[in-house]
Amino acid sequence: MSVDQAAGKPMAGILDRAAVAGSSVILLIARILIAIIFLRAGFNKLTGLEATAKYMADHNLPAPFFFAVLAGLVEFFGALCVLLGFKTRYAALLMALFALIAAFIGHPFWSVPAAEVRNQTAHFWKDITILGGFLVLFVSGPGALSIDRPK
C-alpha cells in the first residue's frame, strides 16, 4: 500500500461518516435544489399557457394546449412533491421521465441550425443529468426530513 493510499483511508472514513450523519439534511438540500428549476418552470407554463402551447406547437406536438397544461402540472406538482418529500419515489420517477421527454422534444440538438447546436446540446445534457439526479432520489428516498420520512 502506498503512502497516498494509506493517507486517503482516514479521510474516506471521515467523509463516509459525515455523509451518513448528515444524510437527512443533504437529501433535503438536494430535493430543494432539484425542485427549484421545475417549480419555477411549471408555474411559468401554467401562468403562460398560450406561450407554452405555442412552444408545443412549434415542436410539432399534437394537441399543444393539452400538452402545455400537462407539462405545467407535471413540472409544478411533481417538483412540489419532491420538495416536500411526499410520495417521493413516484414523483422522482415521474420527473425523471419528464426530464427525458423534455430532453428529446425540447432540445433536439441533432436537428437544429448550426448556430443553435451548442446551446441545445448543453440543455439536452442538462436534462439528462437532472434525470440522473431524480433516479438517485428514487433509489435513496427522501430522507428523514420529509413527509414520507422512514418510520
Q: What is the pLDDT of residues 8-63, one digit of tens each?
A: 567 778 888 888 888 999 999 999 999 999 999 999 999 999 999 999 999 899 99
How many structural domains does the chain have? 1
Query: Which domain, by its residues, includes 35?
Result: 3-140
pLDDT, tens digit, 9 for 90 and up, residues 79-127: 999 999 999 999 999 999 999 999 999 999 999 999 999 999 999 999 9
Q: How confident is the model at residue 150 (pLDDT cuts 50, 70, 90)?
A: confident
pLDDT of residue 3: 41
Give domain status of residue 145, yes or no. Answer: no
Grid cell digits, residue 110: 441533432
Give domain status of residue 77, yes or no. Answer: yes
Give domain status of residue 20, yes or no. Answer: yes
Give domain status of residue 53, yes or no. Answer: yes
Give domain status of residue 102, yes or no. Answer: yes
Give domain status of residue 150, yes or no. Answer: no
Give domain status of residue 97, yes or no. Answer: yes
Buried b (16+ CB within 10 A) or exposed e, 17-41: eeeeeeeeebbbebbeebbeebbeb
Give domain status of residue 151, yes or no. Answer: no
Q: How confident is the model at residue 151 (pLDDT cuts 50, 70, 90)?
A: confident
Q: Which of 124, 96, 100, 112 is nearest to 59 (CA)?
A: 112
**pTM as predicted:** 0.86
